Chain A
Amino acid sequence: MNQPVTQPMTEPHSAHERCDILIIGAGPAGMAAALAAAPSGASITIVDDNPLPGGQIWRDGPQVVLPALAQQNRAALTRHTNVRLLTGTRVVGLGDPQPGDKASALLLEDADRGWTQHSQRIVLCTGARELLLPFPGWTLPGVTGAGALQALIKAGLDVRGQRIVIAGTGPLLLAAAATATQAGATVVRVAEQAPWRALAGFAAQLPRWPTKAAQALTLLHPRLRASTHVLEVQGTTQVQTVRLRKSQRAEETLACDRVACGFGLVPNTHLGQMLGCDLGGPLSGGQGLAVDTQMHTSVPGVFAAGECTGFGGSERALVQGTMAGHAAAGQVPHAQALRPQLARWEGFAQVLQASFPLNEALKTLAQPDTLVCRCEDVPYAALTERQGWIDAKLHTRCGMGACQGRICGAATQHLFGWTPSPPRHLLAPARIGTLAACNTAPTDDPFTPLS
């Protein structure tokens, strides 16, 4: 590990906590927001449900060497005494707001306790998750997301000597392949569903962003094949083989120990939607949180930055996070000054998203008995007659399980065109003790609003 674990400066001690700016997510956007807002002197709390800060791209772990910028940002955060970082802490729902609060109160929970966090402003840096599409065998142990494989390796998963197939779409496949190879695995295939034409078009644009072009060169993999997608994973108790469709109706079956599939990203908007924020971020097919030129969402006091507004990589997230931090601290000119820098990375995001449209054939992978909702074991056949998301929930329990439709909601949106309904209380499974604590009155009010 590169740095000692950043510990909270003060442990929460009551059922109610207050801060000026509450940042949800400690990835590049959340860290940047905190660092931009910190010099204002505002009291800042960052929460993240992972054990360590960094988000997905700067995920730390037993054998990770973090990029220099990630290390610098982490070190910088610890130098600000007005910034409190709470890892292993998730937002589970809405709390009761206090009179005078501009932003909603959020109900938080860590491994030991739950409490209501009050704040003047909220900055949502909730990132994105992978689009995971159902295919026969996708519930077998050993099948993961592509980013998930990276995350698990960084968290200590030993893949030495294992044969791994990575399939899906986008640059994340190559990044996952590089991580797996460095960890001692043999990546026997990187199956990119987009055609070579699309990949060449993407590569041709990269010189506009030299750091990205250089990065791409280091990631190229000899086992990369275009116009290739997963058909089925076979095995009894774990992955044994994967069947891939190659271009021109040809197939190949590869023996392997793991299959990692990612079909692009889905912005994490559940919390924003629960707060009432509009969707419509332009770089997300309308799926991301909508923000104005100061990263303000449609809800007063709530800002958003990074992949939850649409995806475009860590550089865009860093700029947006910085802008959101400045704006949340009331320093609008500082935020506005970064518009040209943001435009540059939004251009990259546009090229990225235009280059990897999903093949229609990916909608036909699931067979009648293929589970679509993994929490409630709802097969594809049970969903084909349903009229929409709510109808499916009511009749099949699709989306009613522990993940609250985060996996199958995005999948059915892609497969059937259903629009998952905005989440309601609660956002995530919560302990009874957390819910019991959230209604008690605050014991003191040391809070000084931002001027």
Chain B
Amino acid sequence: MHIVVNGAPLQVPAGTSVAAALAQQTPGTTRTSVTGAARAPLCGMGVCHECRVRIHGRTHLACQTVCTEGMSIHTDVGTAPGNATL
């Protein structure tokens, strides 16, 4: 299955979560904190919201989202205009 992470193509097994897919690219960052630090999944189960990413313009939790063919993922939540907090 092919996905696109920040514009770069990536191949992942079917059924892989977005969080697991991002972790293939060390260090597997998902978002940027309010003071600018890189963050990655913490709880793995939809509680901590550290893994929020932008997919097709909407914010999703990477650990609770399964990759689909052609999915375009952006790890700019926290830095992109309009994506500062959510």
Contacts and interface: CB of A to CB of B under 8 A. Distances in A.
The answer to whether A and B assemble together is yes
Interface of A: 1, 49-51, 56, 61-62, 88, 90, 111, 129-130, 132, 139, 141-145, 147-152, 155-158, 237-238, 268, 374-377, 401-403, 406-407, 429, 431
A158 B48 contact: no
A406 B64 contact: no
B37 A145 contact: no
Contacts of B34: 375-377, 401
B72 interface: no
13 contacts: A129-B47, A130-B43, A132-B43, A142-B28, A142-B40, A143-B42, A151-B45, A155-B19, A158-B20, A375-B49, A407-B47, A429-B49, A429-B59
Question: From DSSP, what is the main secondary structure of chain B's interface residues?
Answer: loop
Interface of B: 12-17, 19-21, 23-24, 26-29, 33-35, 37-50, 52, 58-60, 63-66, 85-86
Nearest to B65: A51
Contacts of A237: 27, 38
Nearest to B36: A377
Contact of B48 (A1, A50, A88, A374): A374
B44 A402 contact: no
Contacts of A141: 27-29, 38-40
A405 to B, nearest CB: 11
A139 B45 contact: no
Given A156-B21, A157-B23, A237-B27, A144 B45 contact: no
A402 B50 CA distance: 9
A51 B66 contact: yes
Contact of A374 (B38, B39, B85): B39
Given A375-B49, A403-B48, A62 B42 contact: no
A284 B38 CA distance: 34
Nearest to A64: B15
B27 A50 contact: no
Contacts of A156: 12-13, 15-17, 20-21
B3 to A, nearest CB: 12
Given A62-B14, A377-B33, A152 B63 contact: yes
A157 B50 contact: no
Given A150-B44, A401-B34, 14 more contacts: A51-B64, A90-B46, A132-B43, A139-B33, A144-B42, A145-B42, A147-B45, A148-B42, A152-B19, A156-B21, A158-B20, A237-B38, A377-B34, A407-B48
A155 B67 CA distance: 10
Nearest to B40: A141
B43 A129 contact: yes
B85 A49 contact: no
B44 A50 contact: no
B49 A403 contact: yes
A51 B42 contact: no
